[in-house]
Structure 1
Amino acid sequence: MRCSICADETEEDEDSRARNSLAQEFGDGPVYTHNWAVHIEGGAPIAEDLAERHGFIYLGEIMPDYYNFRHNHVAKRSAEHSYHMHETLSQEPMVKWLEQQVAKRRVKRDKQFNDPKWPRMWYLRRGVNLDMNVMHAWEKGFTGKGVVVSILDDGIEKDHPDLKRNYDPEASYDVNSMDPDPQPRYDYSNENRHGTRCAGEVAAEAGNGICSVGVAYNASIGGVRMLDGDVTDAVEASSLGRNPQHIDIYSASWGPDDDGKTVDGPAALARKAFADGISKGRQGRGSIFVWASGNGGRSGDSCSCDGYTNSIYTLSISSATEHGYIPWYSEACSSTLASTYSSGSGNERQIVTTDLRKSCTELHTGTSASAPLAAGIIALALQANPSLTWRDMQHIVVMTARPANLKAEDWITNGMGRRVSHHFGFGLMDASAMVDKALNWTNVPEQHVCKLYSLPASKGILINGKVEVMLESDGCLGDYNNAVRYLEHVEAIVTLEASRRGEIEMFLTSPHGTRSTLLAKRSRDSSHDGFNNWAFMTTHNWGELSTGTWKLEVHNGLASSELKTWSLNLYGTATRPQEGSQHTHYNPEQEKCPSYEYWLNDFCYSRCPDGFYPANVSTSDNATSNSTSLLAVCLSCPEFCNSCNASSCLSCNNGYVLSNTSTCIVGHSSFEGHEHGLDTNDHRLVFVVIAVSVCFAALSLFILIFGILQVKDGECLRRKQHYIRASVKEDDSLDRMVIPNKDAINGLSAEMVAQRQGLLEDSDSANEFSADITDIETTKVVKVPKC
């Protein structure tokens, strides 16, 4: 039997060989394909006509008004861009945009181990509050019926006996071969088994005596075959936008290389597909995109450098091991929303699911296995309430995820009292709690975005140094269309230059003090490309208030770097999202805040602002009853107090100090004893008088010192001149040096001549002596004492 460490090393060696093979094929530069994405107005007939007239083959529609062209006179893969092939096509008035497609490296996020098999489906029937409560959701009658899930991967075995009953051809397509059949390509290594394994986790049929049971075993399951070939922007967009009025949930367990040095994300068409999906999909309620957070943990990778998991449009899912630990392959980042179970070390069980060639496996692993489990749980909640929007679903996940039993050292409590971790997000998904929330849910208010921009000032960062920059936020509350009071996602848009990108760390601290790690060091990332308007996203401020000071910290290791620009995108709502109620804000006469919040001016706060203190006040339960209850509120502090309790000030505003009686008094000794201080005009007068007095004293001192120095220098000058003249008349027997007469000097100053011949040992005397040299033909110079 192999030890677990050995098994892990074997798998990494296989991964390394696969990446090396890809590197040999792709190299460092882009690899251009013989396909073009073309935006054409006028419909498919016009697109077909243009393709034929310009020597292209029309391959079909990518999404409305975007078409896929191929040119057979261009190499299938090339390092060279074929500009000349589309030059004439680009001149057509109906062509609004076109781009030769680039083959992108995308890797499947699963890991394989040759460990002994363990009892099946442990993660669905653990009990004792350790599982994801899927069985409880089933007991309530929710099995995914009526919900459609599509697996974006290398195809699914649609005739697998555990999948064929739930297979949905309308949720399926082969983008690689451009036909309706998503059947995977078979080879000796069963390379294309990934999609079939993911599909079984979601919707393997229950009660048929075959293989496993899917989390949503009555959901419809489809597959889009898109990873078994060149993955271009057009391929991704076509997959993400496939039949969005029919497919509810898209599950993706792939992304850019998890090698610890790649920074990559969706390109133009894929970004448009995401935006169209959340705004138009599911009849305007928004497509739900579930994404595996990545398997680059052993390579020191960060999912903050993956533009798919880092997107506000995706529900990013990480993994927890059977015993609640962080898996060795897990990537930590602030964009992860929640976790489900997957594989861990050699003595921890893995995931059971369908496998290629109509078989079954108990060895599905990695975050690849976690994302489909999350998609199945989301299908249960969507069956409970089909009216949920894509944002409703994210809110429900945040509110119901359970941190308990998940072991990480970075758990913190954010400003809304919610526990959150960079490894596990808000915790383990809870299917039963999610369907309960969904049943009584009221759609969240409209999403707004408040954009805050810093001043364009570059800041260099020393080796092993850091910079801290601030942005003040008013939440755009004065702008109705952009006002954000309650936060959902937060993006820091950063442009930064670095001689070694992997040496950079970034942290964002909210006005509530919640500190998110936007970027951790990546030892394998030696790129000097830095970041260009890269959006680092955090979910850790979910539910917090947006107003106050935001702080960005950029730490630099053994490299030179410069922060060029940064800005913030604050996503959220102007009014407080409140499930199960039509109220858009809290009113003390109608209802109370949650147990961890305080009421102030029709809103609930996780902690009282400066100048207020928390208290409980009595309030009548209704107008006709004498019964009362306690309401948690924020009450105003006494005048000039910055913080206080119910009986006294604890700290004072600027310009005031805390007196012995715990009140705030003006901070100047002349006014001690005046407990209420001065008004604004009195303060200004005091400061003016003090400033004028200080300036007058400084000026007087300067004049005095200057006068003393002038008198001293004049006396010194007179003494030197007298000494020199007296010495010239003295006896020649004295030890003196002789300087040539005036005619020999040839215009040089007496000082220069004297210094060059070593005649003056005290250069201070040369300037004084030079005035006398014109009156004598030969002058003898002696040492002149200093003053």
Structure 2
Amino acid sequence: MSDSRIGGRFFPVTPAARLLLAVAAFISIPCLADVSPSRADPQALQPVTSDTAATKAEKKAQKRPERPILPAVAVKLKPEAVARDVAARYGATVAFAISAMPGWYQFSFGSAADAEASIPAMQQDADIEQALLQRANRRVRKTNDTWYGNQWHLENTGQNGGTAGDDLNVNGAWTGGYTGTGVMISIVDDGVETAHPDLAAGYNSAYAYDYVDNDSDPNPAAAGDDHGTAVCGLAAARGQNSLGVAGVAYDANWTAVRLLGTGMSDSTEASALGQSLANVDIYNNSWGPADNGDYEEIGSLPKNAILNGVANGRGGKGAIYVWAGGNGYGSPYFDDSNLDAYANMPETIAAASIDKNFNNSTYSEGGANILVTAPGGESDVFTTDRSGASGYNDGSLFSDQDYTNDFDGTSAATPMVSGVVALMLDANPNLTWRDVQHILVYTADHSKIAGGTYTNGAGLIASDRWGFGVVDATAAAQLAAQWTNAPARQTVYSPTDNGNVPIPDNSTIGINRTVNVTNTLYIEHTVVEFTTNHTWWGDLRVTLISPSGTISHLALASGGYSPSGTTWYYMSTRNWGEQAQGNWTLKVSDEAAVDTGNLQSWRVIFYGTTTPPNQSASISNTALSDGTTGTGYYHQFQVSTISQQTTWSLSGNVPPGLVINSSNGILSGTPTTVGTYNFTVEATGTLPPSYATASVTLNVLMGTTPPPGGGSSGFGGGGGGGGGCTVGDRGVPAFLGLLALFALLALSRRRRA
């Protein structure tokens, strides 16, 4: 026993009182969490990124672009920390534990900006030893082909005045194992040099034909038949053979149909477009009618051959027809791809062209029918050529005469799209021809579209010159690998407007006509059936406006010849994903003098699905732990989805006090009412659409009375900055007062005794 001085007097102190005073003194010391090295020394945790330090020369040159920040942070936690709880402080989730690195986790955020913003706070967090902001690594599967470095369309490093990264983004698909294996491409053209050293390995002679000379040899037979060999190399030149160039789908097989030349007719076109239908997956068509601003029709035979191909090709999944969008843009012809009936069909993929800086190629036609764009260049695409001096390169362009660096056009863009489609079919052979178009739409890169863009009613960004953007080979192959086939195709017809309305001559005002559609349909293709007796169709500008305000420019008063009949079918992809229901307006103006006529009738034909083409998605982590009234609750749901954005919601009997974060699926709050609650969790994805639901049950139990002032009073955490007491915690002074009172009582009892 010892003595203590109180109010100038000494009192003996019992062991019990001594213990109480010691506890009080301990609690009055600042909490350990507040004096830990990481909190006391802000420099203890420095921001560390995954960037490799640039050399002095590179820093001076300022040529290396900074890699994009990912919505992720790699975090090393202290042993006692709980990863899920730490992640929740920052609105993040635990994506995974990093293999073979104990204590390391990757936290996933809603955006790259959120991840970057979290770093300063993480540096001060007592539970975190290190936080590494993650950036995108560009790891590529380099081919060993001799002239690969010249193929800017495959990998643009800025060579020859290009812009680094302005390419097909194909390396990620190759690295993922998608190279076109098992896919057959038919090059319908002016012949292909089948023995070319960079093409021969992929050639299949069994499916080839020459409709010019009517034999089975599709090789070029005339001077100037150079086109097909260059086209073939862009799609399917053999890669990884230490020779020449690589095609986009360098392991694909190919065959050739020689069609372009003398004697070409509807019957030969139809035959070429159905040649070896049972064995061909993709028909590449880098050709079309003259690009002169005229309305150019397709005969009934080739049209029906294409319709038969998508119905019966590839075992009923449909052959893929890729078509050049046309090279007649601007003066003198002002051509429009919608006036080319081949590229204007819903069953074909119309391709436009951009250059090595992702500018519109000067010649590339626009149109509401254009689906996507690829690098067709400006006389600078590198590809295979007829051997020796026979082809484009006589030796003056490039030293190796088996190749040329002088190819361009939508003729060049088209086989690149065909190659990307081959990668998609390699990733998922079960895709239908419509699935292929869906994937191209949803994965096209629109980030650099130069002007004239708009967002349609389904949230898709498009342009008349670019379609939905530049094909992204890696994104397309990856989405293809996970794709769920779209529902069966349906057709809806609007009412027919038979007004027979005169079109004012030489006036930009024109006429507006509206039809109302009551049917529900998620649109893929929109077709306007347009009938007029106007004597010169080249005077007409025709525009369609959807209920959501999306504008499809169907004809631009090109000045060219009229079609032979009085009806034309204008196709638009601009309404992809929109609803058909509502008012559709057609604007028609006659913008040149002399010729006149009436809009006799029109209607809209919609192709699409009655339900959205939702992708497979499922909600996991649905087993909920019990909640307690008055105590904070946390649970995060997970969803398997390939959509760009997921929105979470709840329905049913949701426990009072709990809400779900719409962006990350975190269920949180403080339950207020005891009970058993059955409710539904919903996750909705967009671009492409996906939807998932899960029925869950949560039991809320009665909690204990919270400590004075609310919150927790011990070292266990509470809702503040990660645990521990603070000066402002009102429970601490109260507790100290109680301890002091108990000590005095003990002392007084001892003295009275």
Shorter-chain TM-score tier:
0.5 to 0.7
Whichever residue aligns with residue 359 of structure 2, its letter is Y
Aligned mates of 1:319, 1:356 — CA distance in 2: 27
| 1:412 equivalent in structure 2 | 454
SS in 1 for 2:217: coil
Matched residues in 2 for 1:133 and 1:319: separation? 16
| 1:535 aligned counterpart, secondary structure | strand
- CA offsets per residue over residues 381-424 of structure 1, 9 Å max, x none? 100000100000000000000111231x2100001111100000
Indicate conservation of the 8 Å contact 2:148/2:245, yes or no. no
TM-aligned CA deviation for residue 580 of structure 1: 3.0
Quick check: 1:427 aligned with 2:469?
A: yes
8 Å Cα contact 1:143-1:380 kept in structure 2: yes
Specify every segment of 5 or more residues in structure 2 that has no aligned partner in the other structure, as ranges.
1-146, 158-163, 389-400, 620-636, 652-660, 669-674, 686-753
Are 1:226 and 2:254 matched, yes or no? no
Partners of 2:225 and 2:464 in 1: how far apart?
31
Match for 2:591 among 557, 564, 588? 557
The aligned residue for residue 110 of structure 1 is none
Cα offset, 1:616, TM superposition: 7.4
1:302 matched residue in structure 2: 336
Q: CA deviation at 1:264?
A: 1.8
In structure 1, what residue type is equivalent to 2:611? T
Task: Note the 1:176-575 alignment, pairs <5 A.
Answer: 176-187=212-223, 191-260=224-293, 262-298=294-330, 299-344=333-378, 349-357=380-388, 359-407=402-450, 409-463=451-505, 464=507, 465-475=509-519, 477=520, 485-523=521-559, 525=560, 527=561, 532-559=566-593, 560-575=596-611
Shift of 1:342: 1.5
For 2:534 and 2:382, how far apart are their aligned partners in 1? 41
Contact 1:151 1:199 in 2 (8 A): yes
Letter in 1 for 2:278: Q
SS in 2 for 1:274: helix
Q: 1:121 aligns with which of 135, 138, 151?
A: 151
The counterpart of 2:179, out of the listed 140, 143, 146, is: 143
Residues 155 and 619 of structure 1: CA distance in aligned 2, closer, same or farther (over 3 Å): closer
- Partner of 1:237, secondary structure, is helix
Question: Which protein shows a greater Rg?
Answer: 1
Between the aligned partners of 1:144 and 1:292, the Cα distance in structure 2 is 21
Q: Which secondary structure does the structure 2 equivalent of 1:192 belong to?
A: coil
> 2: CA distance between counterparts of 1:501 and 1:129?
42
> By how many angstroms is 1:579 displaced?
2.3
What one-letter code is carried by the residue in structure 2 that aligns with 1:279?
A
Q: Calculate the aligned-residue CA RMSD, in Å.
A: 3.2
Quote the residue 1:133 is aligned against: 169
1:202 partner amino acid: A
Q: Does the C-alpha gap of structure 1 residues 502 and 624 become closer, same or farther in structure 2, counting only changes over 3 Å? A: farther
CA contact (8 A) 1:149 1:171 kept: no
Q: Give, in whole Å, the separation in 1 of the partners of 2:649 and 2:539.
A: 44
**Contact 1:293–1:317 (Cα < 8 Å) also in 2:** yes
Aligned amino acid, residue 185 of structure 2: V
Q: Shift of residue 564 of structure 1? A: 0.7
Amino acid at match of 1:214: G
Instruction: For residue 414 of structure 2, give the secondary structure of its aligned residue in structure 1.
Output: helix
| CA distance in 2: counterparts of 1:595 and 1:376, whole angstroms | 24
Q: Secondary structure at the match of 2:587?
A: strand
Shift of 1:509: 0.6
1:104 maps to: none
Deviation at 1:521, TM superposition (A): 1.8
What does residue range 668-679 of structure 1 map to in structure 2 within 5 Å?
Answer: none
Rounded Cα–Cα distance in structure 2 between residues aligned with 1:630 and 1:444:
21
Shift of 1:626: 10
Please say if residues 617 and 640 of structure 2, whose CA atoms lie closer than 8 Å, have aligned partners that are also in contact: no
CA gap 1:491/1:179 in 2 versus in 1, 3 angstroms: same
SS of the counterpart of 1:165?
helix
CA contact (8 A) 1:620 1:627 kept: no
Distance 1:564 1:580, change over 3 A: same
- Are the equivalent residues in 1 in contact too, given 2:535–2:562 (CA < 8 A)? yes
Give, as a single letter, the amino acid of the residue that structure 2 aligns with 1:321: D
State the one-letter code of the partner of 1:328: T
Deviation of 1:561 after TM superposition, in Å, equals 2.8
After TM superposition, give the deviation of residue 498 of structure 1 in Å: 2.3
The code of the aligned residue for 2:281 comes to D
Q: CA deviation at 1:474?
A: 1.3
Contact in 2 for aligned 1:118/1:362 (Cα 8 Å) = no
- Structure 2 letter corresponding to 1:364: F
TM-score, normalised on structure 1?
Answer: 0.58
Gaps of 5+ in 1: 1-116, 478-484, 584-588, 603-614, 634-787
In 1, the alpha carbon distance for the partners of 2:616 and 2:308 equals: 28
Divergent runs of 4+, >6 A: 589-602, 615-633
Q: 1:296 to 1:578 in 2, by over 3 A?
A: same
Partner residue, 2:630: none
- The one-letter code matched in structure 2 to 1:517 is H
How does 1:504-653 map onto structure 2 within 5 Å? 504-523=540-559, 525=560, 527=561, 532-559=566-593, 560-581=596-617
In structure 1, what residue type is equivalent to 2:324? A
User: Which amino acid is the alignment partner of residue 473 of structure 1?
Assistant: V
Identify which of structures 1 and 2 has the higher relative contact order when contacts are C-alpha pairs closer than 8 Å and 6+ apart: 2
Give the 3 Å change call, closer, same or farther, for CA 455–629 of structure 1 in structure 2: closer
Q: 1:382 to 1:621 in 2, by over 3 A?
A: farther
CA distance, structure 2, for counterparts of residue 286 and residue 397 of structure 1: 16
The 8 Å contact of residues 451 and 567 in structure 1, kept in 2 or not, is answered as yes
1:624 and 1:174 mapped to 2: Cα distance?
74
Answer whether contact 1:501 1:530 (CA < 8 A) is retained.
Answer: no
In structure 2, the CA distance between the partners of 1:624 and 1:493, relative to structure 1 (3 Å rule), is: farther
**Which amino acid in structure 2 is aligned with residue 272 of structure 1?**
N
Give the letter for the 2:267 counterpart: A
- Give the Cα separation in 1 of the matches to 2:665 and 2:273: 53
The separation in 1 between residues aligned to 2:684 and 2:241, in whole angstroms, is 55
Matches within 5 A, 1:3-22: none
The answer to whether the Cα contact below 8 Å between 1:496 and 1:530 also exists between their aligned partners in 2 is no
Distance between the aligned counterparts of 1:632 and 1:384, measured in 2? 25
Q: Separation in 1 of the partners of 2:267 and 2:368?
A: 29
1:497 CA displacement: 2.5
Instruction: Indicate if the aligned counterparts of 1:170 and 1:246 stay in contact, CA closer than 8 A.
Output: no
Assess if the C-alpha contact under 8 Å between 1:148 and 1:171 holds in 2: no
Counterparts of 1:521 and 1:245, CA distance in 2: 41
* 3-state SS in 2 of match to 1:286: coil
Could you tell me which amino acid in structure 2 is paired with residue 401 of structure 1? A
1:530–1:175: structure 2 CA closer, same or farther, 3 Å change rule? Answer: closer
Q: CA deviation at 1:435?
A: 1.0
**8 Å CA contact retained: 2:618, 2:639:** no
TM-score where L is the length of structure 2 = 0.60
Q: Tell me how far 1:325 sits from its aligned partner.
A: 1.2
Alignment partners' CA distance in 1, 2:280 and 2:640? 39
CA contact 1:351–1:369 (8 Å) conserved in 2: no
